[in-house]
Structure 1
Amino acid sequence: MVLALAIFVFTYIFIAGARLPFLKLDRPGGALLGAVLMVVCGVVTPAEVFNHSEDPARHAIDADTIVLLLGMMLLAAYLSQAAFFRTAGAWAVRRARTPQVLLVAVTFISGALSAFLVNDTVCLMLTPLVLATVEEAKLPPVPYLLAVCMGSNSGSVATFTGNPQNMLIQGASGLPYSTFAAYMALPAILSTAIVAGALLFLFRYDLPVFRFEPRPPPPPVDRGLLALTMVVLAGVVGAFFLGLPMSWSALAGAACVMALSRREPREALDRVDWVLLLFFSSLFVVVYGVNKHGWAEEIRLLFAPMMQGPAWKETLGFAGLTLVASNLFSNVPFVMLARSWVPTLQNVELGWHVLALGSTLAGNLTLVGSVANLIVFEAARGKVNMTFMNYLRVGLPVTLISFVAGLAVLLAEHALF
């Protein structure tokens, strides 16, 4: 049905960040309109949208991914209420004695937290603290803000719960959490180290050489809530490694904290990014409509010449396509589309790993390549004016070097193990 492709292209205009003069829609609004058009025009039935069919292949929305994202957001919200993020940031600031060490510390803390918590949430929590710290120390804010978002993107490669696109890959691939983390941990660590090193080099003339003694006031920590949430989060991650259902493990953990914290749940619920969940649900419907009528396969065949030949050439072609397309269409929508392509590759497991690596590190290339980037620089609006080209000057070398290095590690791991 040509109508399905037309709605898909119309939706992707908004997802790619473009604007139509007669419609003032952003990405979530464009995705929602596309989903509604899919149903109104008869491409997708309401029963398929609401997963009423007993056949899982006729379920438009991947409920497991939505539930997993909701559960992790709630756990991050309770960590925020307990002042975990402010405490972690203050700890790093107290131990940094030079601007250079502080830059490295911010990069790795952002990456480490994003390995287990959703990177968008980590950026939202860390940005105000970093801004306050650099203002007090009279340091240029741009390199430290880049450390937050780029470190977060790189570190989130490590696990299925690091970012939304990895959650999508988990739902489609069925790979165990432990196996995925075993392969992706080293590329994530290496990519984060490259981000830190590149920022130190690119901003070597902007960072003053002196020792400072920043003394951020200790945040008021809710020790009881922090201990409860950390214990539950450790149990949730343990459940992931044991192979229990990830979505319900995360939501059960969030419900446990909600029941035992003796706090009104509304504050945590208000911190959930409901717009992001709506965006995901709408995209699921749009991509399902395209898949239903065979257009996803037609799109794959369009790019097939890039991936012909032996397995190594196919992998490199798919990696390059992922890097470019994730910036043209945004990483989450591309992953939704490309999930049906990976099973056709010669090395399927490597294909899932390459899709996760490429779609995530692609977020460091441009300002609009990742939601995490937009969160950081929107929070800094009024203090920092980051343009597309200024970001690209840093993002291009950082992304290319980290992507090539991460891909080389992945290929070596698969060759050895």
Structure 2
Amino acid sequence: MVLSGVLTLDEAYRAVDFNTILLLLGMMILIGYLKIANCFRYLSYLLITHARNSFLLLCFVSFSSGILSALFVNDTICLMFTPLLILALNQTKLNPVPYLIALATSSNIGSVVTLTGNPQNMLIGVFSKISYLDFTLHLIPIGIVSLMANVLIIYGVFRKDINFKKLEPIVLVKPELDGKLTTKSLVVLFCIFLGFVFTGNLPLSAITGGLALIIISGTKPQYVLEKVDWTLLLFFSGLFIVVGGINKAGFLTLAHNAVEPYLGKTESSQVVHFSIFSVIASNLVSNVPFVLLSAAWIEKFIDPKTMWYVLAMSSTFAGNLTVMGSVANMIVLELSKEYVHVGFWDFFKVGFTTTVVSTIIGIILLIH
């Protein structure tokens, strides 16, 4: 964008939304300390070893990954859960495919519930100025019902592999938990959420909590800074600049004018049509770039606030459509490929149905 003369270097700097970068960085620091404390591995160990039958294991994997993804970003949960889940499944005669699919799809679904559940929701939180609590109250029913539907869909597709027969006890090496660091991290997490709710300033709350934890953690900052995904922060900065150039060139206005006739004239029709458009477009250009591109259109709808919820819901659920739909899916499949092959069609059978059903659930609950 700079070399081709669309933006000057100063305009490129100004195009980067540092509120989003700070929010991401603050949450990454917090999550980094929870990783160092072995908190996620310990939680997954407790859940997996208490499953009495294969259906209960499916429920544990689905709901735990969904709930934790709402709090700690879905990619992180998949990164931490997958290795331990593979170890557990290797002890049983169970088909690992439905459980790995459940981990990926449920973490995507659960992440829709909060403004910090996934990167696209963070963007929406910064752009829309919707309060953290308000967003969660509107999206939590959609997340819960969709998680339940996802479990039933996976059970239906893999009925032969999932039953209510008692499982042999799963024996795993208990991960060592750093109790002090976990306690400090959870206290800071609670304070960050209080900041989200009472100040409404997501970036300031997140980065203040992250810096406070660096000071009180008792560990060298370099350990947690190694856990920060600097590549993702650079990727976001680059995206902001590209979208800034596209916007300056007038492409966003042209694109909106082209699709506007198909987005409906009533509030209900706009919710339905934009949800469908968002699911398709998020799979063509990926959900984060689509949210960045379409954010400029939201104020042109009849009810902009509802359409922010629609954008969060549909762009997140779009991640379940195919294996390539979200980073969480690829993390699960990449970490498990040495042990089991999850085929494209195995995933698509569940992913397509889950995407359609969860999007319909979202549309019904958002139309009022």
Class of the TM-score when normalised by the shorter of the 2 chains: over 0.9
Aligned to 2:40: 85
- After superposition, the C-alpha distances for 1:91-122 in whole angstroms (9 at most, x for unaligned) are 21232100110111111000101111111111
Count of residue pairs brought into register by the alignment: 367
Matched, 1:48 2:11: yes
1:119 corresponds, among 70, 74, 85, to 74
Deviates more, 1:88-97 or 1:154-163: 88-97
Structure 1's unaligned 5+ residue stretches are 1-37, 51-58
**Aligned-residue identity in percent:** 40
Q: How does 1:292-311 map to 2 (within 5 A)?
A: 292-311=248-267
Q: Deviations over 1:222-257 (max 9, x none)?
A: 100000000000110111011342112111111111
Q: Which residue of 1 aligns with 2:333?
A: 377
Q: 2:79 corresponds to which letter in structure 1?
A: L
Q: Secondary structure at the match of 2:296?
A: coil
**Residue 387 (structure 1) aligned to one of 325, 332, 343:** 343
State how far apart, in whole Å, the 1-side matches of 2:118 and 2:68 are: 11
CA distance in 2, matches of 1:381, 1:71: 32
Structure 1 residues 28-60: Cα deviation after superposition (integer angstroms, max 9, x where no partner): xxxxxxxxxx0111111111222xxxxxxxx31
Greater than 6 Å deviation, 4+ residue runs: none
The amino acid of 1:113's aligned partner reads L
Are the aligned partners of 2:48 and 2:85 in contact in 1 as well (CA < 8 Å)? no
CA distance in 2, matches of 1:160, 1:226: 23
8 Å contact kept, 2:12–2:244: no
Q: 2:82, 2:332 within 8 Å by CA — same for their partners in 1?
A: yes
Q: How far does residue 218 in structure 1 lie from its aligned partner after superposition?
A: 2.1
- Once residues 333 and 275 of structure 1 are traced to their aligned partners in structure 2, the CA distance between those partners, rounded to angstroms, is 16
> Which residue identity lines up with residue 138 of structure 1 in the other structure?
K
- Separation in 2, partners of 1:116, 1:249: 15
- C-alpha distance in 2, partners of 1:71/1:140? 38
Are 2:197 and 1:241 equivalent residues in the alignment? yes
Say which of 305, 308, 312 aligns to 1:349.
305
Distance 1:204 1:250 in 2: 43
How far apart, CA to CA, are the structure 1 residues paired with 2:58 and 2:32? 26
Give the 5 Å matches for 1:171-186.
171-186=126-141
> What is the CA RMSD across the aligned residues, in angstroms?
1.3
- Please list the CA deviations of residues 256-311 of structure 1 after superposition, one character each: whole Å capped at 9, or x if unmatched: 11111111222221122222111111111111111112110111111112113222
Shift of 1:70: 1.2
- Deviation for aligned residue 1:139: 2.0
CA distance in 1, matches of 2:35, 2:154: 28
How many Å separate the matches in 1 of 2:243 and 2:343?
31
Rounded Cα–Cα distance in structure 1 between residues aligned with 2:355 and 2:364: 14
Q: Distance in 1 between matches of 2:327 and 2:76?
A: 10
- Alignment-derived partner of residue 215 in structure 2: 259
Matched letter for residue 98 of structure 1? N
CA contact (8 A) 1:83 1:219 kept: yes
Please say if residues 73 and 118 of structure 1, whose CA atoms lie closer than 8 Å, have aligned partners that are also in contact. Answer: no
2 CA distance for matches of 1:272 and 1:401?
Answer: 35
Would you say the 8 A contact 2:109–2:146 is kept in 1? Answer: yes
1:94–1:384 Cα change, 3 Å = closer
Q: 2:199, 2:55 → 1: CA distance?
A: 40
**How big is the shift at 1:76?**
0.9
Matched to 1:185, the amino acid is I
Q: Name which of 319, 322, 329 aligns with 2:275.
A: 319
Residue 15 (structure 1) aligns with: none
Letter in 2 for 1:40: L
Q: Describe the SS at the equivalent of 2:72.
A: coil
- Corresponding residue for residue 193 of structure 1: 148
**Cα distance in 1, alignment partners of residues 114 and 196 from structure 2:** 10
Question: What per-residue deviation string (whole Å, max 9, x for no partner) do you get for residues 339-359 of structure 1?
Answer: 001110001011000000000
Of 329, 334, 338, the match for 2:290:
334
Query: In structure 2, how many angstroms separate the alpha carbons of the residues matched to 1:231 and 1:326?
Result: 36
Pick from 243, 266, 288 the counterpart of residue 287 of structure 1: 243
Q: In the aligned structure 2, how far is the partner of 1:94 from the partner of 1:376?
A: 20
Alignment partner of 1:75 is 2:30: yes
